[in-house]
Amino acid sequence: MSENRRKVALITGAGRGIGKATALVLASKGFDIAVHDIDGTTAAETASLIRQSGVDAESFAADVSNRDAMGAVVSAVEARFGAIDALVNNAGIASDRCPLEQVTEAMFQRSIGVHVAGTLWTTQAAIIGMKQRNAGSIVNLSSIQALVGWSEGATYNAAKGALIALSKGWAKEFAPWNIRVNVVAPGHTETEMTVRNDSAELRAAKAKTIPLGRYARPEEMGEAIAFLASDAASFVTGQVLSPNGGFVIT
């Protein structure tokens, strides 16, 4: 394989929002892109947009909580592109937003299934090739909710907190193979999900609690993710980067 080839990034949940923005940012920084989403239509749209910029991209549709399905996606990506240099585990669903007494087993299983199991199954499949090449970067998407806690968000808090612990363990486990594992924990970001779940008035009120006075743009999260995925962060592993406009300052 040529050492001059473009690197390849697999991004889950890249049909929209932060995942889509990350795909576009990484494409602009020298990566070919494997675009995954549970929605094949939005994944194909993102891949098409990337190809229009002259970068190679392909779309893949599967439910991240399905181990066999994600194993098949990783195999298809490797067959198509040859290697996965960067894995961005971005796929996620909205918080439950209800009192603890109202949390159902289905809500818990779905949140853990998408965020935690989805990240685990995808990484489990991709790590084999990364170990063979003694190289790779994994970026897992947590949330500011894992850092500060969120009222009436039990299953989301649990899932996003688990990803931080999982990532720190993997950073130590995979370091002998020169594989880095880091976390991005986004603060309030203006995505389709936030617009759908929060009114303009609520978003404006939340923005006032952020020292920089606004929500992030998805592209700003994409830049943070791209940094950790790239060789610019070659000595960074086991870390949590939270672009949050100063909402959390420690």
Rounded mean pLDDT for each run of 10 residues along the chain, 250 residues in total: 78 98 97 98 98 97 98 98 97 92 96 98 98 98 94 95 98 98 96 82 92 96 98 98 94
Give the pLDDT confidence score for residue 246 in this predicted structure: 96
β-bridge mates for residue 7, sequence order = 31
Residue 11 near residue 22 (C-beta atoms within 8 A):
yes
**Sign of torsion over alpha carbons 141, 129, 235, 32:** negative
156 flagged as catalytic: yes
Q: What is the largest CA-CA distance in the chain?
A: 56
Question: Reduced to 3 states, what is the DSSP secondary structure of residue 12?
Answer: coil
Provide the 8-state DSSP code for 217: P
Q: Looking at the domain 7-241, which fold is it? A: Rossmann fold (3.40.50)
Residues 31, 121, 156, 174: which is the catalytic one?
Answer: 156
CA distance 142 to 11: 14
Distance of alpha carbon 193 from alpha carbon 72, whole angstroms: 28
Q: Are 74 and 50 in contact (CB under 8 A)?
A: no
Q: Which long-range contacts (CB under 8 A, 24 or more apart) does 104-111 make?
A: 107/155, 108/154, 108/155, 108/158, 110/65, 110/155, 111/155, 111/156, 111/158, 111/159
**pLDDT given at position 3:** 55
The C-alpha atoms of residue 119 and residue 243 are separated, in whole angstroms, by 21
